[in-house]
Structure 1
């Protein structure tokens, strides 16, 4: 079980003491009271490329290392991801120690953001997860065919029923987040507390020139997705031949160009200086950015998890951060 102790270095924060003996400062998600290790373990491969044994091993390693934030969706492996996470929590009896985030809107059975679909989706997710509540519910799509008021009222009813604690956006532009906040204020319903955004060293402009400002104004906790750019920022793809060695090589191929190699070279230098892995440094760079709470990252093997968690304790120097900013500039 993870033990939490107060810290004097960050007022209002805590330190998580995992079984490894390392210490990590936790972060609060937006205006919620959800406090997490600043790394969200994605369940996007659970039930797909990761079978029961691999999933259990990955989750055990994550929890034993101090991790407490798990991100999934009702559409991941057609719901099998939620089933596997639920089974794991029951086996470990650790539901109270885990912050569970899931998403609705993309499932085959209940697509879209109308009130009926959202409520059916949440009930189905609760059953698969084997829990009475979802800590953080994401709207997985921005369904403009449905009036925002209907979507927001449905989520607020779920919050009132105790089935959902907090919610956020996952595929929304800054303008749509502003519209949502205005609508929430007018109707007197719970506002969003978090947003997921495509953000990493290779993909900066879209987030930094738009969504970042809105997230800051609204006090949203930012969860960067594709944080390692389909594995490219782990450093395992250095030449074309490497792409064929992994199922995600096709997705990473777009980055194997001059700019991508420059970024990897800079990451190599910082990783050597910090005595950490390239993936750890890429995540640490994200964690240095204002508003970022926890990058969302998947691991295909349990052995990969410690280097992901390590990002939570790495402190980049000002020079290292500036150099990574420079080589990845747009």
Structure 2
């Protein structure tokens, strides 16, 4: 069941828990219960970022803080894998991937997480204002110091990733082991054939986010009435309520009947079956959601279902 993350020694089951909801739509007690259920189900990797959830008034890196308090309360740091990210705008000029910013950001994350190392430290987005060499050399120093075990990146395209890999190899310094990009049954352009070939040729793994397309791939949005029931309905409607979206849902309905599974299970099982994917990245805001998602990533789709689902999104 476990898969290797890139060329690292990290082995994980194929679900990485997105924790952006911790301290936002899920309070601390609910987050603790959700994390407990996740680990009890046999999973180990939690993904966060220093910027989660600064978009909420009064919040500042709540996700990392809650994960840190949970690990301290449970005494389980050596049993979980902590993935976090930096590079987004944290306010007060704290943004980007300069050496100075990375060195400051990692210390802040270590303090909030109440740990002395991070399993996977990721560039949240490219920084065009900082030379790639400066960023990667900063990461190399963190790896040598034992503060970071491995590094990854997020929201990188083929050219950006190719440049980073080339720099790492030429300098003999830390290399990205994973990419977090949007990828699901509807949106596949951020993991196209060129990027997939580059990643697989260099041993990198994909950690796809937005796995359920904001809930569209759960089947809860099928009509204008459905869209009006949700705060996110308008944005979901603009992006997904079109012939392509409806074709994907119809294919998912047929696969769900064939596999005796929910649409959520179908959506995640398809992702997990794609080459190069180490695990689907999906959030859960309750223990009940953990139970459903845990079943999804262990479902093996039939060849007919995989073929029909893949064709529907093209």
TM-score interval (norm. to shorter): over 0.9
Question: Could you tell me which residue of structure 1 aligns to residue 52 of structure 2?
Answer: 76
Q: Indicate whether 1:218 and 2:202 are aligned.
A: yes
Number of aligned pairs?
Answer: 305
1:101 and 1:312, CA in 2 relative to 1: closer, same or farther beyond 3 A? same
1:307 to 286, 292, 296: 292
* Higher mean C-alpha displacement, 142-151 vs 297-306: 297-306
Question: Could you tell me which residue of structure 2 aligns to residue 144 of structure 1?
Answer: 128
Deviation at 1:136, TM superposition (A): 0.4
Cα RMSD (Å): 1.3
**TM-score scaled by length of structure 1:** 0.89
Residues 104-143 of structure 1 correspond to what in structure 2 (within 5 A)? 104-106=86-88, 107-108=90-91, 110-143=94-127
Question: Could you tell me which residue of structure 2 aligns to residue 189 of structure 1?
Answer: 173
Residues 253-272 of structure 1 correspond to what in structure 2 (within 5 A)? 253=237, 254-272=239-257
1:244 and 1:66, CA in 2 relative to 1: closer, same or farther beyond 3 A? farther
Residues 42-61 of structure 1 correspond to what in structure 2 (within 5 A)? 42-61=18-37
Question: Could you tell me which residue of structure 2 aligns to residue 102 of structure 1?
Answer: 84
3-state SS in 2 of match to 1:146 = coil
* Higher mean C-alpha displacement, 220-229 vs 178-187: 178-187
- In 2: Cα distance, 1:100 partner to 1:245 partner: 35
Deviation at 1:244, TM superposition (A): 3.4
Deviation at 1:177, TM superposition (A): 1.1
3-state SS in 1 of match to 2:181 = strand
Where structure 2 has 5 or more consecutive residues not aligned to the other structure, the ranges are 54-59
Question: Could you tell me which residue of structure 1 aligns to residue 138 of structure 2?
Answer: 154
3-state SS in 2 of match to 1:225 = coil
3-state SS in 2 of match to 1:296 = strand
- In 1: Cα distance, 2:263 partner to 2:226 partner: 16
- In 2: Cα distance, 1:274 partner to 1:56 partner: 32
After TM superposition, which residue ranges in structure 1, 4 or more long, deviate above 6 angstroms?
none
Instruction: Kindly provide the CA deviation profile for residues 190-228 of structure 1, in whole angstroms up to 9, marking residues without a partner as x.
Output: 211111111111011342233212111111010011111
Contact 1:73 1:81 in 2 (8 A): yes
Residues 232-311 of structure 1 correspond to what in structure 2 (within 5 A)? 232-253=216-237, 254-311=239-296
* Higher mean C-alpha displacement, 68-77 vs 239-248: 239-248
Question: Could you tell me which residue of structure 1 aligns to residue 12 of structure 2?
Answer: 36
- In 2: Cα distance, 1:250 partner to 1:49 partner: 19
Where structure 1 has 5 or more consecutive residues not aligned to the other structure, the ranges are 1-24
Deviation at 1:181, TM superposition (A): 1.2
